[in-house]
Structure 1
Amino acid sequence: MGAGFAGFHAARRLSRLARGRAEVVVVNPTDYFLYVPLLPEVASGILEPRHVTVSLADALPGVRMVLGEVDGLDLDRRTVRYAEPTGSPAELEYDRLVIAAGSVNKLLPIPGVAEYAHGFRGIPEAVFLRDHLTQQIELADDSADSAERNSLCTFVVVGAGYTGTEVAAHGVLYTELLRKRHPRLSDQRIRWMLLDVADRVLPELDERLSRTADAVLRERGVDARMGVSVDEAEEFGVRLNDGSFVPTRSLIWCVGVRPDPVVDGLGLKTDKGRLVVDEYLRVPGRPEVFACGDAAAVPDLTRPGEVTPMTAQHAQRQGKHAAENLAAGFGTGDLRPYKHHDLGFAVDLGGAKAAANPLHLPLAGLPAKAVTRGYHLLSMPGNRIRTATEWLYDAVLPRQTTQLGVIPAESIPLDTASPEHVAEAR
């Protein structure tokens, strides 16, 4: 169930372990695996959208691919219900099940956010944002009203975690590039704001990485306001919880994620929306069902009493581990508990800047950039040469800045949180 980091790697490992002994089926709404960490580079025009996707048919030979949106399970009958791309209902039977449904945008109960903010979770949002940034600068260039120009050239990012920090860092470079190509805007200020209720940028990381990222953002003129968030969103601006009003047409929602809502309807025990599993990634009382990634509350054996965070690093390793433990059930290998020590983190800040701590050694600048890009190339299950080539092109050729207009704003509404998730988020 799902072909994100957890589901993709579970299917790939299982197809190798069970070759000729079992049929492996993946149910997913798209026919590709999305390498989410590179989406900010899609939004800033560095990478083409297709190059951060990997065809499931090519990467998972021998695996049956079923296009569909899972909308329920019958655990007693061992069936998965899903909607086909045409909307028609269908179902599949299973002997063993891996729930890797992933996550969706987390929406807080703030007036106007659902109507006027845009999330950043997939290809449509990244392509829309690239077009939107380009359009705002073009509209500003055509405007004779200074107040309107200021509003069009103001961009507000909510959430200073990985995604929000990278979106702001790449975005400010992209809009500055756009401004330079419009001589009428030579004296126009391009304003980027990064908001978070936390006390620092990248609050989940080592403070040294946080300081590095904060310094880069402020050097580029990003107004990083910590301890501040949005009280209300309107069509032409946002009101902050410090009482100020910011005129803007661009509210980018990077607050975080919550488990896919399909998890709620399973009738299984959850922890803050994530399925409770044991250290072997099995659902208690359902030995034929495994869960991993963002949808699962996996015990963190390196931090007793806690669960693993919702990161791609854990999802990828849990997917592989779930496949191995599932295969142990039919005689291939042994059942083992999941235990993983973080190997470090990398945050790409655009240009020649990055922050990384491989093996917990803090790096900044070009060394961190090299580590970050090397890590992404090693982690991508495909399109490595294309991605590296586009990085090279971006270093030596002018970046293309045309807007395609293929993703209308109304086609990417921000996900709506249920009352339960709202309560947890607060």
Structure 2
Amino acid sequence: MNTVTRPRILVVGAGFAGVECVRRLERRLSLDEADVILVTPVAYQLYLPLLPQVASGVLTPQSIAVSLRRSKKYRTRIIPGGAIGVDLGAKVCVIRTITDEIVNQPYDYIVLAPGSVTRTFDIPGLTDNAFGMKSLAEAAYVRDHVISQLDLADASHDAAERASRLQFVVVGGGYAGTETAACLQRLTHAAVKRYPRLDPGLIRWHLIDIAPKLMPELGDKLGRSAQDILRRRGIEISLGVSIAKAGPEEVTFTDGRVVPTRTLIWTAGVAASPLIATLGAETVRGRLSVTAEMTLPGHDGVFALGDAAAVPDMAKGKEDAVCPPTAQHAMRQGRRVADNVIATLRNQPLAPYEHRDLGLVVDLGGRDAVSKPLGIELHGLPAQVVARGYHWSALRTNVARTRVMTNWVLNAVAGDDFVRTGFQARKAVKLKDFEFTDSYLTPEQVRAHVEEARSKES
């Protein structure tokens, strides 16, 4: 076969699901069976669970960004850009490249793993004044911002301004929010010792969530244990509460409290990538409705997985159960989808996805953690060993493992230098500036763009 006649497998997204799929395809497909193409704005896989440790300075940003171009043996073509629409009928993916050019990429098989974006609500001022914790840039920016608040409070002669700069609000009682609040509180607790003019008692962290429990998946006992740890550190936890409105210098809670603050971090869940809405296909709570084999009903050669797909959770035995948007599911789904794509190419039967959850780990910084591996409840140092051991082993390369382990050891021995990297010298950016959710096309725009391109070619 020549390159013109080989089937084209297009993978959208370089998260856990997309990268695992690509690597499996590369290992199991012969060179002349198919061409593999990966669409991603950045040529690295981000290990999202460790973002709070980047924000707190325990890990460097590079240590959790695993390059996709490091190995010479991989043959996948990487298109630097983002998919902004898919025409399922024409089998064309519309891509906005990093040079801002819009191109059409034909495919024979497509694997949709675009991931998720921060879930927001119609709360006045939220996207203009909150920070997210979903990307490497956001984590690095939040670290700079938090340290800058200490610098600005130290330089201020106004008591009210100083107090507002030393109050921090995190919304979201899931893993991301809890770990973010825990890790950043440790950062400010350690850093304020280097500011003799600041009263440590002025530093206050608030963790709020509309749910009645913190991390309910952990169970009552471990959930209470995590709350006790955070409260002993001085973090104020408010459950059954959310944000009514957000301003640049204060946040109003739904229970009426007004908190003067310059720092609002929003981690209240995720939503499927807006790319899914461009397909015009059936969804389940915003996620693409797929079969147990992760195929899209009614469309040959279309597979979807990860955060953007409602993959049936066969292990739970419930008809309407879907897999949660976690890394352990995404990685395993990626490998299963790759096998099913190969099976389709070779006219072999497809296999359903099934995985029993291995448990949960929550790193609260230092020696504090709560974990539930294989249903066994742990807290303290044993839980910390399990949590970090799990994350360390899940990193894809030995280089990444070495960097992360070195960072952990160095931070434990030498502590933090509380250095800002310079983001604050630029224009202030918030949640709305990082995810570019207004870049996607509507289904009608996708079809019109594809038809216009075809008419020009003919």
Instruction: Using structure 1 for the length normalisation, give the TM-score.
Output: 0.95
Moved more, 185-194 or 103-112: 185-194
Instruction: Check conservation: 2:130, 2:430, Cα contact below 8 A.
Output: no
Identical amino acids, percent of aligned pairs: 43
Letter in 2 for 1:72: G
- Give per-residue Cα distances to partners, 1:365-386, cap 9 Å, x unaligned: 1111111111011101121001
Aligned to 1:413: 431
SS of alignment partner, residue 355 of structure 1: strand
Partner of residue 392 from structure 1, selected from 409, 413, 422: 409
Bigger mean CA offset, 198-207 vs 35-44: 198-207
Aligned to 2:136: 123
Give the corresponding residue for 2:395.
380
Contact 2:192-2:200 within 8 A present in 1 as well: no
**What is the letter of the counterpart of residue 357 of structure 1?**
K
Partner of 2:66: 54
RMSD after superposition: 1.6
Distance across 1 between alignment mates of 2:374 and 2:229: 23
Query: Which residue of 1 is the match for residue 259 of structure 2?
Result: 246
Q: Note if contact 1:17-1:332 (Cα within 8 Å) is conserved in structure 2.
A: no
Mapped to 2, the partners of 1:398 and 1:118 lie a distance apart of: 25
Structure 1 residue 273: Cα displacement: 1.1
2: CA distance between counterparts of 1:328 and 1:207? 43
Alignment pair present for 1:14 and 2:39 = no
Query: Which residue of 105, 114, 118 maps to 1:105?
Result: 118
Task: Please identify the structure whose Cα radius of gyration is greater.
Answer: 2
Question: After superposition, what is the alpha-carbon deviation per residue over 1:160-181, rounded to whole angstroms, capped at 9, x for unaligned?
Answer: 1010000000011000111011
Letter of the aligned partner of 2:421 in structure 1? L
Question: How far does residue 291 in structure 1 lie from its aligned partner after superposition?
Answer: 0.2
Specify which of 66, 79, 88 is matched with residue 75 of structure 1.
Answer: 88
The answer to whether the 8 A contact 1:107-1:417 is kept is no
Structure 2 runs not aligned, ≥5 long: 1-11, 439-458
Matches within 5 A, 1:290-301: 290-301=303-314
Alpha-carbon distance, 1:333 to partner? 6.9
- 1:206 positional shift: 2.1
TM-score w.r.t. structure 2 length?
0.88
Q: Which residue of 1 aligns with 2:14?
A: 3
> What does 1:25-424 align with in structure 2 at a 5 Å threshold?
25-58=37-70, 61-303=74-316, 304=318, 305-331=320-346, 334-382=349-397, 383-406=400-423, 408=426, 410-414=428-432
Decide whether the 8 Å contact of 2:189 with 2:200 is kept in 1: no
- One-letter amino acid of the structure 2 residue matched with residue 26 of structure 1: L
Could you list the runs of 5+ residues in structure 1 that have no partner in the other structure?
A: 419-426
Cα separation, 2, equivalents of 1:128 and 1:374: 27
* Cα distance per residue 1:388-411 (max 9 Å; x no partner): 011000011131211112364644
Q: 1:189 Cα shift?
A: 2.2
Retained in 1: the 8 A contact 2:41–2:81? yes
Instruction: Call closer, same or farther: CA 1:417–1:95 in 2, change over 3 Å.
Output: closer
- Within 2, Cα distance between the matches of 1:332 and 1:345? 38
Q: How many residues align?
A: 418
Q: Which moved more, 1:140-149 or 1:325-334?
A: 325-334
Q: Distance in 2 between matches of 1:238 and 1:63?
A: 47
Determine helix, strand or coil for the equivalent of 2:251: strand
